[in-house]
Amino acid sequence: MFQTRTRVNTRTELNVYAQFSATTDSTTGSSPKRSKRYKALVSLVIAVLLAGAGSIAPSQSTYAAGEKKPFPQQVSYPGIIKPNHVTQNAMNQSVTQYYDYWKGKYLKNDLSSLSGGYYVKGEITGNPGGFAALGSSEGQGYGMVITVLMAGHDPNAQTIYNGLFKTARAYKSSNNPNLMGWVVADNKNAQGHYSSATDGDLDIAYSLILAHEQWGSDGSINYLQEAKQMITNGIKASNVTSNNRLNLGDWDAKNALNTRPSDWMLSHLRAFYDVTQDPVWIQLIDNLYSVYNDFSNAYSPTTGLISDFVVNNPPKPAPEWYLDEFKETNIYYYNASRVPLRIVMDYAMYGDPRSKAISDKLTGWIKGKTNNTPSKIKNGYKLNGTEVGDYATAVFVSPFISAATADSGNQAWVNAGWDWMKNKKEDYFSDSYNLLNMLYISGNWWKPGSADQPALPNLALNAAAVASSIEGISFEADRAIDGNLQSRWASSEGSDPQWIYVDLGTVKALGSVRLHWEEAYAVKFKIQVSNDGSNWTDAYTETNGSGGVQEIPLNNVSARYVKMFGTERGTPYGYSLYEFEVYPPN
């Protein structure tokens, strides 16, 4: 009687309702006006189907109000691969399940000394100076980035984010109030007591840029203003050295050569440049690449590994027990394990070939070391690749999977790594960093644009739209141009070609098209334009689409009509777009 898919989502529910309605009409002759008994029966059928499908979640999250980039964004980065043995929808579900677990275990708002203050509960290394440490600025940074990226899935994300920011500001550094002290403790006297740690502040400042783009800055917190203040008067003033390196905190010297490679968050630094237009950030990026390459050429030419701390010029590994933190400060250990994610994101989001070169070197070495088995990665290596660790933990494994996304030859490795990491649950440090890697690998860590640039208008919003076919009721063409990422156009299933076009009303200059694909995406399609709706010209051709959110540049094009013409499906279904957006030139 029913022909439903194994992937149960809002599409299936509507299909069931429509097919059940049609079957009832033809077999019983009932009127279109449904009785309460009939509606109850339909609800029962849907519930049974959903229960039979197990715990499969809807393909699209329920959004809270106000998000401009609600989860899932599922971006496809140029030159970057994703796991291809699972659907995008399944990856999104794995991320939301892991976030819900992480939030329940580590995200807390029980500070008696700071009402409304949130923090990420986790262990610290180092001496908390007489206070009982609950967390750190490092964890605060992780939590703020994670929360803003999960907004849309979590309807309380902005409240939580603002609470995390409240804690970051209350626990300000004793040296520079624009930075955060490195320890969170439930005591008023701990607020303003500690100096800073560079990594936490970099993530916090970066998260403020994301928050500005997610919610805007006209609410109770001016996220953009706070970001600029922290970037310039905090990080630049205290952490960027005269040698174009990053020191370890605002307690450290401005001419220091000692630096922590896990602080080299290159895509963060590019975002800092975008919002400040200060060339110091580009100079810093260039020098950090030089330091990395000089270090690797001298100490890890076959592995590409880097030590937890780097000192001197020319750069070399710090000695053992550096800063009395732990013995292994001279090798690839629990600080440096985070580096591959920080490096590869500069290639994914900004296309820097230096990032890809480092990522490829690391990936080639670790795949050979483990015989292409991610679960054989160990928690510690000497710079020559000798194992010093004895088990696999996510903070070591997941960044190596992220680095491998920079080359399509690593597909099997990325697939195996995703399967390993998505259910790995350990402790605050590994779990938090694992979730950050999951957000990146699934395409749900989106690139912030220039936060000073006014948003371009979506020319297609609420215009007229026409499609070659529709799957059924509630999947009409105009669902793709209504500005609602919970509704969508879907074509009939199982046939090519299919298309949808939008009528902009008059001929307009075009700058780009943005396609928000549902799970039913196009591998091959064209963007075509026309001035009369009859004669079409190819403006863009895609031959290897992978779904997600696709940004398509249109150069020197003017048209009244814009069409997505799909010629090869990426799934057995049809073609489906949450939104078909058209933008003018910048």
In degrees to the nearest 10, what's the CA dihedral of 503, 505, 511, 513? -20
Q: Give pLDDT, residue 408.
A: 95
71-97 burial by CB neighbour count: b if 16+ within 10 A, else e?
bbbbbbbeebbbbeebbbbbbbbbbbe
How many CA atoms, within 13 angstroms, populate the side-chain half-sphere of residue 165? Answer: 24
**Separation CA 376–CA 393 (nearest Å):** 10
How do the domains of the chain map onto residue ranges? 10-52, 88-441, 464-583
CATH architecture of the domain 88-441 equals Alpha/alpha barrel (1.50)
**Separation CA 276–CA 231 (nearest Å):** 8
Q: Give pLDDT, residue 12.
A: 36
Q: Give pLDDT, residue 297.
A: 98
Residue 201: active-site member: no
Look at strands 498-517 and 576-583 and give their pairing: antiparallel
SS3 letters across 348-413: HHHCCHHHHHHHHHHHHHHHHHCCCCHHHCCCCECCCCCECCCCCCHHHHHHHHHHHCCCHHHHHH
Q: Which stretches in the chain have pLDDT values below 70? A: 1-65, 450-452, 454-455
- Asked whether 426 and 397 are in contact (CB, 8 A), the reply is no
Among the listed residues 199, 308, 346, 482, the single catalytic one is 199
**Separation CA 484–CA 489 (nearest Å):** 11
Q: And the tokens for 531?
A: 């001035």
Q: Give pLDDT, residue 41.
A: 40
Q: And the tokens for 440?
A: 């990146």
**Separation CA 405–CA 77 (nearest Å):** 10
Peptide bond into 314 cis (omega under 30): yes
pLDDT, tens digit, for every residue of 201-224?
999 999 999 999 999 999 999 999
- Residue 332 pairs with which residues in a beta bridge? 381
Question: DSSP state, 151?
Answer: B
Residue from 178, 154, 160 nearest 119 by CA = 160
35-53 burial by CB neighbour count: b if 16+ within 10 A, else e?
eeebeeebeebbeeebeeb
Q: Give pLDDT, residue 20.
A: 33
The CATH code that applies to domain 464-583 is 2.60.120.260
Q: Give pLDDT, residue 450.
A: 54
Q: Is 464-583 in the same CATH topology as 88-441?
A: no
